[in-house]
Amino acid sequence: NKKVVQKCYLSGPAKESDFEVVVSDTVQLALPTGSTAVIVKNLYISIDPWNFSMKKDDSTLPLSVITGYGVAKVVVSGHKDFEEGDLVLGITGWEEYSLISDPNSLIKINYPDLPLSYYTGILGMPGMTAYIGFYEICAPKKGEFVFVSAASGAVGQLVGQFAKLTGCYVVGSASSDEKVNILKEKFGFDDAFNYKKEQDLNAALKRCFPEGIDIYFENVGGAMLDAVLLNMRLSGRIAACGMISQYNLEKHEGVHNLLNIVTRKLRMEGFFVSDHFSKYRKFEEMVVPHIKSGEITYVEDIAEGLESAPTAFVGLFKGKNVGKQLVVIARE
């Protein structure tokens, strides 16, 4: 069983050398009698900003396999609800085969006719994140002004498209002109800007939103959040989904414009998608018809082979990924 392990704790931005690919001699494709676990063959793994452990007290280091969401095929089952050949989505590992001791956490794949890789993105955890964060946390209304940061990524590209489906005006930010083009041409954002080229983020937001922002889908934090707070409209909502610009900092940046939360009567709410997976089938029912009709599209950045996972992960923090970053381990 080949696997990727985390060799050391994160200090500063993650580097490829923090990971190691380890090959163990044999794979045990059998379960003890009476076990209710399943063994899966991993097909696709989702590369997400949270995969790496920053915890200094993680005693499982240095040889713990990295865990994360993935798409897999059941190869041995001791569980009544799963049989050999079932395709599933759930928390697996950066390895060829994983033992899932609690299969109740797995979700069976209902639409194998759609690209299986979609279950790491649009039909997986990032899709659920966009759905819960936008529809439940932001409570959007037709005609509202929506801003999305890290807008071309796994979550952001869907938030923008959900906003368009709702009849909102939506603007996204990203770190390259290529991504800005994709936002406008492929995902239908009304406008987009390359934040790396802007001298003044407040001015960029004022240019894009002369009337202000009703909804901010927060993926990056730091200076962007500060600038957004200056541009929120009365009773605006901020879904605090993530703050990737802060994850690798020893000391988080200060945000200066928090008083606007009071004076503009804003609501800022954080959430964990993992608390909402009971709504997965409802989400799937909503999004699958839009995928099938072509109304919603999805861009993926696919790397080949387990060995490419560390580079793919490190790339997330440099904005190298164009769309959802994932790794193919096996196609069947």
Q: Which residues bind ligand NDP (CB under 6 A)?
A: 48-50, 126, 129, 150, 153-156, 174-175, 179, 219-220, 241-245, 271-273, 316-317, 319, 321, 324-325
Structure tokens at 107: 């979700």
Q: Which residues contact 73 (CB under 8 A, 6 or more apart)?
A: 40, 41, 43, 85, 86, 87, 88, 332
Smallest separation (angstroms) from ligand NDP to the CB of 239: 9
Whether 160 contacts 126, CB under 8 Å: no
Q: Which is nearer to ligand NDP, 97 or 216 (CB)?
A: 216
Paired with 237 in beta bridges are 215, 267
Q: Which is nearer to ligand NDP, 50 or 141 (CB)?
A: 50
Smallest separation (angstroms) from ligand NDP to the CB of 44: 15
Listed in sequence order, the DSSP H helices in 230-316 are 259-263, 280-293, 309-316
Backbone region of residue 191 per phi and psi (left: phi > 0; alpha: psi in -120 to 50; beta: other values): beta
Smallest separation (angstroms) from ligand NDP to the CB of 140: 18
Structure tokens at 60: 């499982």
Q: Which is nearer to ligand NDP, 97 or 313 (CB)?
A: 313
Smallest separation (angstroms) from ligand NDP to the CB of 321: 5
Give the residue closest to ligand NDP by C-beta. 153
Whether 213 contacts 147, CB under 8 Å: yes
Q: Which is nearer to ligand NDP, 70 or 79 (CB)?
A: 70
Paired with 73 in beta bridges are 41, 87
Q: Which is nearer to ligand NDP, 179 or 237 (CB)?
A: 179
Question: Cis peptide before 62, with omega less than 30 degrees from 0?
Answer: yes
The Cα 43–Cα 39 span in angstroms is 13
Smallest separation (angstroms) from ligand NDP to the CB of 214: 20
Smallest separation (angstroms) from ligand NDP to the CB of 153: 2
Q: Which is nearer to ligand NDP, 161 or 325 (CB)?
A: 325
